[in-house]
A and B are shown apart, each in its own frame.
Chain A
Amino acid sequence: MSLDVSSVIKKFGEKTVVDNLSFKIESPGVFGLLGTNGAGKTTTIRMILGILEKDGGSIKWNERPVTRESVKFGYLPEERGLYPKAKIVDQLSYFGKLRGMDGKSVKKVLDYWFDRLKVSEYSNSTAEQLSKGNQQKIQLITSLLHDPELIVMDEPLSGLDPVNADLFKSVIYELVEKGKFIIMSSHHMESIEDYCTDLVILKNGETVLNGNLKEIKASYGRTNLTVNAQDNIDVLIKEGGIHLISKNATGYELKIKSDEQAYTLLEKIIASKIRLDKFEIREPSLHEIFIEKVGE
């Protein structure tokens, strides 16, 4: 199974919202669709789901155009969509039936998910009676109840407390285990970094980065240095000619040209008898790569 997005273009009037976007997902896992607000993520998602016409290019699942009929997909939209005044169990079985399930299997699946996400007690409440986090759980059930092959999640973790965020993450890991293809869009870089294998970063509709996360990071090399020390080492950094990215309460984020540069700094800190808490030479984080690519 594979999803092949190739040279996709979308224009709204004169404005090109998605420009020549291509990527491929060839194995199960989480694919990151990243970008700033208005970069064209949701538009891309809608085109993949076939609810928005594209102006060029092709989107294929197993070599066939993606339609509602050719692939079972689950969608967790960014703006939550539930009927505010309808009973949770009623609207969930409605969505299940719309996707071709029969009443019996819907009931079985719902029992499983209500239990898994700990929302059984709300099955007879209306959506408007639920808290934001619980609505989010119901929304997750909506996107998963028909056991889709391709799952698109737009900001799945927003508005969740740490406990529920972990619950969601465990569900997502489970889905990957089961061999699902997941496209996830998020501003939450740490969570993406946790389970993303491949990603694409969009800026104003253009692709600024595309590929395997590990390879991208490796290609940057070990360019970042984190130093947490008890005393001020500003002078030492300046002497070493090291670029200061940021300085915060716990320490320094630095950019180095080579490992030697770092070792020289380390020797100086030791020689100055400054107490050192942390000295880490590492690849840049996704957050840092993202800022570098789309910030300015």
Chain B
Amino acid sequence: MKGFFTVLSYTFKENSRKKTFIISTIITLILTIVIVSMPAIIKSFNSKQPSKTEQGSNSAKSKGVIFVVDSKAILKGNLNKLALVFTEYEFKSETTNNVTSLKDKVKGEENNALLILDEKDGLPTFDYLVKQAGDGLDPTELSKYIKSIFVTDLLKSANVTDNVAHLVQSDIPYNTLELGKGKAIGYISSMAISMLLFLSIYYYGYGVAMSVASEKTSRVMELLVTSTKPSIIILGKSAAMGLLGLAQLSLVVFTGILTYKITFPENFSIAGQALDFSNFTPFSVVIIVVYFILGYCLYAMMNAVAGATVSKAEDVNSALMPISMISILAFYMGYFSLTVPNATIAIVSSIIPFSAPFSMPSRILATEVPIWQILASSFSLVLTIILIAWMSIKIYSSAILHYGKRLKIKDLLKFSNKIK
């Protein structure tokens, strides 16, 4: 046990001191700060150019002009009413003859627009010309208003009382209350967590393979195995790299939260959904950490063996290929089931040990997962880890002293059969 902690603390110290680790941590932290403060940056850019909704109140001089060509008299002189409703715009009545010159005016100024009204099958229609879609007054607002004028006229001509006419025109107010987990938000955070888990498990697992391979390359391995048991080396090393990963991740998450608290604007929303972290309950945070640890253990054990099969550090990537394939496949299984967190594929992928780390935590964020599924998933993971670790230790002991050609899976199986 003492040996385990010796390996752990040495590996942790040496790796945390490495330039590559320090630089990658700094870059990740800067990226985290930039990404998290992005909404605030976007918002500050927006507030520099007066936004459309705030325009009416603060600037009379930059008022946009909407040229109205109403040859069929659909508005019947209601132009002033239009100006009263949309106070931030000036409405000018024009004639059909001027359309060409008006088009130029619209082209030149982003707040100007040209409204050409027409009638088709007894219904009013209009062409709305702007410099770029999205510029100027929202045409759906215009459409609503023109409709209300049209409907009011219709009702009047049918002798409907003003009172009833008003009721006909009013919208029915409604409220939506979500009792379960917010779907869209659940989806966004699930996706983020799933990606985060995949990237970190993959990245730190890769570190284990590299570390083992470099010990072989530098021939330190021979000294290590004469000093202590191979199982202590593989376990201590994996644990150290895992802790290092956890430390780096916590640093990133902590920086993220801090940046969020400082810079994040109020009432910011993504695709109409206000950001809300209510589904990150203490329980789900624990689950995320536990699944990171379990998933990491599983892949680290396999990676250590892959690292032990090569003689040169350059060969690590090709030795890792089968494991990378498994992990990518597993990740996509988990990732695709995100959209339907309660479908069979989602349940299966959250129980299969290889995909569970990428699938279960995100499902827990997105939906209510029955307790039996969580238990089944973690049991299958723990069992597989024990099995893989047991095999890995056996194979590792033989593989680390093998130099020359890269060992094939066939050779590894031979090793594991031989050593009883």
Partner of A81 from the list B3, B223, B228 (CB cut-off 8 Å) is B223
Q: Which of A96-104, A184-192, A230-238 contacts B (4 or more CB under 8 A)?
A: A96-104
Contacts of B419 in A (CB 8 A): 53
In Å, the complex CA distance between A49 and B227 comes to 10
In Å, the complex CA distance between A126 and B374 comes to 48
In Å, the complex CA distance between A77 and B223 comes to 8
Contact between chains at A99 and B218 (CB < 8 Å): no
Contacts of A90 in B (CB 8 A): 10, 13-14
In Å, the complex CA distance between A90 and B219 comes to 17
Q: Which of chain A's residues has its CB closest to B217's CB?
A: A84
Contact between chains at B226 and A81 (CB < 8 Å): no
Q: Which of chain B's residues has its CB closest to A98's CB?
A: B227
B408 within 8 A of A: no
Contacts of A77 in B (CB 8 A): 219, 222-223
Q: Which of A34-55 contact B (CB under 8 A)?
A: 46, 49-53
Q: Which of A166-223 contact B (CB under 8 A)?
A: none
B401 within 8 A of A: yes
Main secondary structure of the interface of A (DSSP, over half): loop
Q: Which of chain B's residues has its CB closest to A83's CB?
A: B220
Interface centre among A52, A81, A82 (most CB of B within 10 A): A81
Partner of A142 from the list B13, B14, B223, B225 (CB cut-off 8 Å) is B223
Contact between chains at A99 and B227 (CB < 8 Å): yes
Contacts of B418 in A (CB 8 A): 53
Known: A51-B401, A97-B6. A75 touches B220 (CB 8 A): no
A132 within 8 A of B: no
Q: Which of chain B's residues has its CB closest to A146's CB?
A: B227
In Å, the complex CA distance between A68 and B232 comes to 13
Contacts of A94 in B (CB 8 A): 6, 10
In Å, the complex CA distance between A99 and B303 comes to 26
Q: Which of chain A's residues has its CB closest to B400's CB?
A: A51
Contacts of B192 in A (CB 8 A): none
In Å, the complex CA distance between A82 and B220 comes to 5
Contacts of B227 in A (CB 8 A): 68, 95, 98-99
Known: A46-B401, A84-B218, A90-B14. A100 touches B2 (CB 8 A): yes
A76-110 contact mask (Cβ, 8 Å, vs B): 1 or 0: 01011111111000100011011110000000000
In Å, the complex CA distance between A296 and B168 comes to 114
Contact between chains at B401 and A85 (CB < 8 Å): no
In Å, the complex CA distance between A262 and B104 comes to 123
Contacts of A80 in B (CB 8 A): 219
Known: A83-B14, A98-B6, A98-B7. A68 touches B222 (CB 8 A): no
Contact between chains at A81 and B401 (CB < 8 Å): no
In Å, the complex CA distance between A100 and B418 comes to 30
Contacts of B333 in A (CB 8 A): none
Q: Which of chain A's residues has its CB closest to B397's CB?
A: A51
B410 within 8 A of A: no
Partner of B228 from the list A50, A75, A83, A99 (CB cut-off 8 Å) is A99
A73 within 8 A of B: yes
Known: A79-B219, A82-B218, A83-B218. A98 touches B224 (CB 8 A): yes
In Å, the complex CA distance between A80 and B219 comes to 6
Known: A51-B401, A81-B220. A73 touches B10 (CB 8 A): no
Q: How far is the CB of A184 from chain B (nearest CB, A)?
A: 16
B18 within 8 A of A: yes
Q: Which of chain A's residues has its CB closest to B221's CB?
A: A81
Partner of B18 from the list A52, A81, A85, A142 (CB cut-off 8 Å) is A85
Q: How far is the CB of B207 from chain A (nearest CB, A)?
A: 15
Contacts of A79 in B (CB 8 A): 219, 222
Q: Which of B1-31 contact A (CB under 8 A)?
A: 2-3, 6-7, 10, 13-14, 18
Q: Which of B404-420 contact A (CB under 8 A)?
A: 418-419
Contact between chains at B222 and A81 (CB < 8 Å): yes
B229 within 8 A of A: yes
A239-256 contact mask (Cβ, 8 Å, vs B): 1 or 0: 000000000000000000
Known: A51-B401, A85-B18. A95 touches B222 (CB 8 A): no
Contact between chains at A75 and B218 (CB < 8 Å): no
Contacts of B10 in A (CB 8 A): 90, 94, 97
Q: Which of chain A's residues has its CB closest to B2's CB?
A: A100
Interface centre among A51, A79, A86 (most CB of B within 10 A): A51
Contacts of A84 in B (CB 8 A): 218
Q: Which of chain B's residues has its CB closest to A128's CB?
A: B218
Contact between chains at B6 and A49 (CB < 8 Å): no
Q: How far is the CB of B90 from chain A (nearest CB, A)?
A: 71
Contacts of A142 in B (CB 8 A): 223
In Å, the complex CA distance between A97 and B224 comes to 11
B129-147 contact mask (Cβ, 8 Å, vs A): 1 or 0: 0000000000000000000
Contacts of A82 in B (CB 8 A): 218, 220
In Å, the complex CA distance between A188 and B403 comes to 25
In Å, the complex CA distance between A46 and B219 comes to 14
Q: Which of chain B's residues has its CB closest to A51's CB?
A: B225
Q: How far is the CB of A50 from chain B (nearest CB, A)?
A: 8
Contacts of A73 in B (CB 8 A): 226
B201-234 contact mask (Cβ, 8 Å, vs A): 1 or 0: 0000000000000010011111111111100000
In Å, the complex CA distance between A68 and B230 comes to 11
In Å, the complex CA distance between A98 and B13 comes to 15
Contact between chains at A98 and B14 (CB < 8 Å): no
Contacts of B14 in A (CB 8 A): 83, 85-86, 90
Q: How far is the CB of A74 from chain B (nearest CB, A)?
A: 8
Q: Which of chain A's residues has its CB closest to B236's CB?
A: A98
Q: How far is the CB of B139 from chain A (nearest CB, A)?
A: 65
Known: A86-B14, A98-B6, A100-B2. A75 touches B401 (CB 8 A): no
Chain A residues engaging chain B, CB cutoff 8 angstroms: 46, 49-53, 68, 73, 75, 77, 79-86, 90, 94-95, 97-100, 142
5 A-B contact pairs sorted by A residue (CB < 8 Å) = A51-B226, A68-B229, A95-B223, A97-B6, A98-B228
Q: Which 4 A-B pairs have the closest CB atoms?
A: A81-B219, A98-B227, A81-B220, A97-B6
Other A-B pairs, 20, CB within 8 Å; known A50-B226, A98-B224: A53-B418, A53-B419, A68-B226, A68-B228, A75-B222, A75-B223, A77-B222, A79-B219, A80-B219, A81-B221, A82-B218, A82-B220, A83-B218, A83-B220, A85-B18, A90-B10, A90-B13, A95-B227, A98-B7, A100-B2
